[in-house]
């Protein structure tokens, strides 16, 4: 019998370039996202929302980002222009996880953004549990004001990540993980 923690112990990202059809169908996606939004939420602010990029709209988004990348750097080499143009063409579905910070709520901004980050992670974890592949990416577009406008974000919103979803097209090996003993310490009260 597998451990209840085996899902977390085995979860790993699938590179977006190795994700293809099928994407989760509407019912599966709904179930996945309902699970993903069950996150710690100090103050019950729901400081996040989701934007779905799929099909021709996803491709158009990639074209607009490529044009933005060129405006940011007119000297951008052709290979990087092509990389920007193709960035959203691999995985059949991309979920944009957006943080919505309420500055007047009395809850620290970092806690609100971490809440949204937990949504992104839950999408990864849930996708893995469903036998799907997923990768959480950011890159320059997550932090660009023009991209935020393109996505229709309000002033208090920011992109936490672009979560690419699909079916792995090949076996994806896990990466090396850090040793817990290198990361864990115990605090001692001053004498």
Quick one: which of 35, 42, 168, 154 has its CA closest to 107?
42
- 51, β-bridge pairs: 96
User: What local confidence, expressed as pLDDT, does residue 125 receive?
Assistant: 97
Task: Calculate the CA 97 to chain-centre distance.
Answer: 6
Which residues does the chain have with pLDDT short of 70?
1
User: What local confidence, expressed as pLDDT, does residue 4 receive?
Assistant: 85
CA distances, 143 to each of 120, 126, 140, 147 (Å)? 16, 26, 6, 8
Which residues have CB under 8 Å from 188's CB, separation 6+? none
pLDDT per position as a tens digit, 31-60 = 999 999 999 999 999 999 999 999 999 999
User: What local confidence, expressed as pLDDT, does residue 1 receive?
Assistant: 52
Joined tokens for residue 94: 């991309």
pLDDT per position as a tens digit, 92-105 = 999 999 999 999 99
User: What local confidence, expressed as pLDDT, does residue 3 receive?
Assistant: 87
3-class DSSP state of 9: helix
pTM: 0.94
- Is residue 124 within 8 Å of residue 163, measured between CB atoms? yes
Half-sphere exposure for 20 (CA within 13 Å, toward CB): 4
Question: 137: exposed, middle or buried (C-beta count within 10 Å: 0-12, 13-18, 19+)?
Answer: middle
Query: Could you tell me the domains of the chain?
Result: 13-53+91-169 (3.40.109.10)
Report the distance separating Cα 89 and Cα 18, nearest Å. Answer: 11
Question: 24: exposed, middle or buried (C-beta count within 10 Å: 0-12, 13-18, 19+)?
Answer: buried
């Amino acid at each position: 019998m597998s451990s209840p923690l085996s899902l977390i112990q085995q979860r790993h990202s699938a590179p977006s370039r190795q994700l293809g059809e099928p994407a989760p169908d509407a019912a599966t996606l709904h179930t996945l996202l309902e699970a993903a939004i069950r996150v710690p939420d100090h103050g019950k602010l729901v400081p996040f929302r989701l934007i779905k990029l799929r099909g021709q709209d996803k491709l158009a988004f990639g074209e607009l980002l490529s044009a933005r990348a060129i405006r940011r750097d007119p000297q951008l080499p052709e290979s990087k222009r092509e990389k920007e143009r193709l960035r959203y063409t691999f995985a059949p579905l991309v979920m944009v996880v957006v943080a919505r910070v309420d500055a007047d709520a009395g809850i620290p901004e970092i806690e609100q953004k971490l809440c949204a980050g937990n949504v992104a992670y839950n999408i990864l974890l849930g996708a893995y549990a469903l036998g799907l592949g997923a990768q959480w990416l950011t890159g320059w577009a997550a932090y660009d004001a023009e991209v935020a406008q393109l996505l229709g974000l309000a002033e208090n919103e920011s992109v936490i990540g672009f979560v690419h979803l699909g079916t792995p097209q090949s076996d994806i090996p896990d990466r090396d993980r850090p040793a817990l003993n290198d990361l864990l310490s115990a605090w001692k009260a001053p004498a």
